[in-house]
Structures are given as structure tokens and as C-alpha cells.
């Protein structure tokens, strides 16, 4: 899928370590909603870099397919990374897969997660419904992020009561290969949230770039 629409501009500089805040959230547990092309890639990379991952999709069948895809992708990574030591490669695959749990009920698994990354279909109403519901079940500290390519982050954030803890986290396909991650802040996104997501992206081995929404909207389509 091509991602051509941009509702934001990149900042002049990329992430700033100088402004690092002691209050940043160290993201260890990640909930990825949507186990399709992008969500599976995000779950794989997060688990492979030592995070505990909960992967959520609509049915067990989709999740099984998603998990199989992740395993195949991990085996390819392991073959290259551990070319001289296949046993270590097998261990890497097993350990990474063991870090990924799955669920078909997002609301029941977000209570203690540090970050929710949404990668469901590109539909504002569906994304809003999802986040509005999760907002009631997630912990206060939990950051919400959308991987949307073309929707306004502000429009999605406004479905929640945590606009300060809401941002875009835009990965590129294929996620295990592509280094760039755009951290997209709205006018309401706190510095702490932005910095936490930049640190998380770096922990994934990615190159985060901080971006801001160009034409923020004030109202949500979901009431
Ligand atoms: N494909 C790309 O190249 C690309 C790149 C960057 C960003 N994106 C963005 O990432 C998001 C996902 O894209 P994709 O290509 O991975 O889509 P996809 O169709 O491959 O996967 C979407 C998954 O979401 C699941 N889903 C739908 N509604 C759900 C719900 N309410 N709860 C749980 N799971 C649900 C579907 O079953 C499906 O498995 C979109 O917002 C898209 O714009 C895509």
C-alpha cells in the first residue's frame, strides 16, 4: 500500500536528547492492535528488542496467521544474524515468539500496558471507536499511538480523554527492514509523550523523526 498523504511536517531537527526528561515513560509492555501487515511487523520488532508484546486482532484465525508470518520473518532474520550459530538463531526466534501474547479482546488486555499502537484498517470511525473504548480500560499512564498513514492524528486523539498522551507513530513497510519512524505530535501531545515515543523507537533500533500536525482539527467525528 502506498502512503502518500501527509497531514504533518517534519521538524527541522530529529529527536533531541538534550531535552530528555526524567518523567519519560520507559515503554516495556506494548499492545499492538491489528495483526495485519504493519501490526505484525511492529509486534515482531518490539518483541525482538526485548519488549513484552500483546498482539490483538479480531479473530483467532487472523492471529494464528499473523503469528505464523512473524515466525517466518524471524527465521529469515535469524538466518542472517546468526549465520555462524544456528542454535543461537533458533533461541532468538523462540525467545522472541515467547514474548508475544495474543488476544481478540483489546479492552481486557490494555489495563497495564505502557503503549497501545493501533494498526487497524484505515478508517477514522473504526479507529475512533476503538480508542474511545480503550480509553476507559487503559491505565492513566498508557500512551496511545496510531500508525495511520493518511488520517489526522488530532481527529483520532479527540476520541479520547488523553490527548496529551496521544501521538502518531508511523512505521514504514516492511517494518523489520525500514529504519524510519515518524513520531507525529498534535498541539495537545505532551513533550513527555513525544520523548517517550522517541526513546521507544530508538529501543526498536529505528531512527525516529519528530513531526507535527500541520492542520490540526479541533473536533472529533465521534461523540
Ligand atoms: N501497508 C502499509 O504500507 C502501511 C504503511 C504505513 C502505515 N500503514 C497504516 O497502518 C494501518 C494498518 O495497515 P495494514 O496495511 O497493516 O492493514 P492490514 O489490512 O494488513 O491489517 C489490518 C488488521 O487490522 C485488523 N482489524 C481491523 N479492525 C480491528 C479492530 N477493531 N480490532 C482489532 N483488529 C482489527 C484486521 O483484521 C487486520 O488484520 C493503517 O492505518 C495504514 O494506513 C500502512
Q: Which three cell numbers stand for residue 125?
A: 470511525
The pLDDT value recorded for residue 6 is 47
Q: Which residues lie below 8 Å from residue 175, measured CB to CB, with a gap of 6+?
A: 38, 41, 42, 44, 45
pLDDT over threshold 80, residue 56: yes
Q: Encode pLDDT of 117-148 as tens digits.
A: 999 999 999 999 999 999 999 999 999 999 99
Please tell me the distance from the alpha carbon of residue 165 to that of residue 141, in angstroms, as a whole number: 8
Q: Which of 2, 60, 120, 155 is the best mutation target for the ligand 1 pocket, counting ligand atoms within 8 Å of the beta carbon and taking the most?
A: 120
CA 126 to ligand 1 center in whole angstroms: 11
Average confidence (pLDDT) over 159-167? 98
Closest CA to 41 of 181, 141, 165, 184: 181
Closest residue by Cα to atom 6, ligand 1, is: 172
Arithmetic mean of pLDDT, 179-205: 98
Question: pTM for this structure?
Answer: 0.90
Q: How much is the mean pLDDT over the chain?
A: 90
The Cα 159–Cα 223 span in angstroms is 8
Mean predicted confidence (pLDDT) in 9-30:
62
Q: How far apart are CA 163 and CA 49, in angstroms?
A: 28
DSSP-assigned letter for residue 21: -
The mean pLDDT value for 98-116 works out to 97
Compute CA distances 171 → 37, 45, 95, 117, 175, whole Å: 11, 11, 23, 11, 6
Residue 163 DSSP one-character state: G
Q: Specify the ligand 1 atom closest to the Cα of 2.
A: 3
Between 110 and 15, the more confident residue is: 110
Mean pLDDT of 184-198: 97
The CA 128 to ligand 1 mean position distance, Å, reads: 14
Mean pLDDT of 102-130: 98
What pLDDT sits at residue 213? 83
Q: Which atom belonging to ligand 1 lies closest to the Cα atom of 129?
A: 31
Q: What is the pLDDT, as a whole number, of residue 4? A: 39
In this structure, the residue with its CA closest to atom 39 of ligand 1 is 36
Determine the distance separating the centroid of ligand 1 and the alpha carbon of 43, expressed in angstroms.
Answer: 13
Residues 151, 149: Cα–Cα separation, whole Å = 6
Tell me the pLDDT band of 214, cut-offs 50, 70 and 90: low
DSSP 164-207: GGEEEEE--SSTTT--EEEEEE-TT--HHHHHHHHHHHHHTT-E
Rounded mean pLDDT, 61-88: 97
pLDDT at 50 over 70: yes
User: Which atom of ligand 1 is found nearest the CA of 120?
Assistant: 24
In the chain, pLDDT over 70 holds for what percent of residues?
Answer: 86
Place of cell 490540526: 216
Region 136-164 average pLDDT: 97
- Per-residue pLDDT band for 19 (boundaries 50, 70, 90) equals very low
Whether residue 195 has pLDDT greater than 50: yes
d(CA 116, CA 197): 11
Pocket of ligand 1 (CB under 6 A): 1, 3, 33-39, 56-58, 62, 119-122, 126, 130, 147-149, 171-173
Amino acid at each position: 500500500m502506498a502512503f502518500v498523504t501527509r497531514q504533518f511536517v517534519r521538524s527541522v531537527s530529529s529527536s533531541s536528547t538534550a531535552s530528555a526528561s526524567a518523567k519519560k515513560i520507559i515503554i516495556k509492555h506494548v499492545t499492538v492492535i491489528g495483526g495485519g501487515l504493519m501490526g505484525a511487523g511492529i509486534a515482531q520488532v518490539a518483541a525482538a528488542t526485548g519488549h513484552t508484546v500483546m498482539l490483538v486482532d479480531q479473530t483467532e484465525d487472523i492471529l494464528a496467521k499473523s503469528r505464523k508470518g512473524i515466525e517466518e520473518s524471524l527465521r529469515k532474520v535469524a538466518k542472517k544474524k546468526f549465520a555462524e550459530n544456528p542454535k543461537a538463531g533458533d533461541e532468538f526466534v523462540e525467545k522472541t515468539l515467547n514474548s508475544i501474547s495474543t488476544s481478540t479482546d483489546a479492552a481486557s488486555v490494555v489495563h497495564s500496558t505502557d503503549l497501545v499502537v493501533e494498526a487497524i484498517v484505515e478508517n477514522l470511525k473504526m479507529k475512533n471507536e476503538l480508542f474511545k473504548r480503550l480509553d476507559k480500560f487503559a491505565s492513566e499512564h498508557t500512551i496511545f499511538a496510531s500508525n495511520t498513514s493518511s488520517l489526522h492524528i488530532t481527529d483520532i486523539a479527540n476520541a479520547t480523554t488523553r490527548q496529551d498522551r496521544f501521538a502518531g507513530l508511523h512505521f514504514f513497510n516492511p517494518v523489520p527492514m525500514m529504519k524510519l519512524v515518524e513520531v507525529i505530535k498534535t498541539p495537545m501531545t505532551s513533550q513527555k509523550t513525544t520523548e517517550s515515543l522517541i526513546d521507544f523507537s530508538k529501543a526498536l533500533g529505528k531512527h525516529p523523526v519528530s513531526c507535527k500536525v500541520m492542520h490540526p482539527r479541533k473536533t472529533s467525528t465521534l461523540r
